[in-house]
Amino acid sequence: MKDLLIVEDDPEMQEFYRDMLKGEQFSVTYVSDGEEGLKEMKGKKYDLVILDILMENITGDRLFSLLRKDKHYKEVPVIMASSLDKQAYQCFQALGKVSFLEKPFTKEMLIAEINKYL
């Protein structure tokens, strides 16, 4: 079973992810901000990380940059999810194994992105 980490500060979006991933063959851990995400990743290696971009403390794009500098997470696939236009984040593609989902998205779109990497 593949381990996913979802870093999302909006409780409604966390519930949305829970509903979409219910019954799928993933073990999913949820944290509410980038700081919690960093702490969680120090104790465990995840197979894929989903990041909200707009968060307080450590934003998703900042957390993504930190992940790419970490030897354990340098190659881990990341899906960045935001209501912002994904064009603003195209520069991250050069850092590899990253995709973007514009909110709102469907279950099919999310599962397709996850399955692209796992």
**Total count of domains within the chain:** 1
Cα end-to-end distance, the chain, whole Å:
10
Determine how many CB atoms are found less than 10 A away from the CB of residue 20. Answer: 17
Q: Could you tell me the CATH number of the domain that includes residue 36?
A: 3.40.50.2300
41-69 pLDDT, tens digit per residue, is: 997 999 999 999 888 889 888 899 899 89
10-46 pLDDT, tens digit per residue, is: 999 999 999 999 999 999 999 999 999 999 999 799 9
Q: Does the pTM of the predicted model rise above 0.85?
A: yes
Mean confidence (pLDDT) of the chain: 89
List Cα–Cα distances, 100 to 37, 41, 50, 85, 88, in angstroms. Answer: 18, 21, 10, 9, 11
In this prediction, residue 117 has a pLDDT band, given cuts at 50, 70 and 90, of very high
Count CA atoms within 13 Å of residue 102 on its CB side. Answer: 7
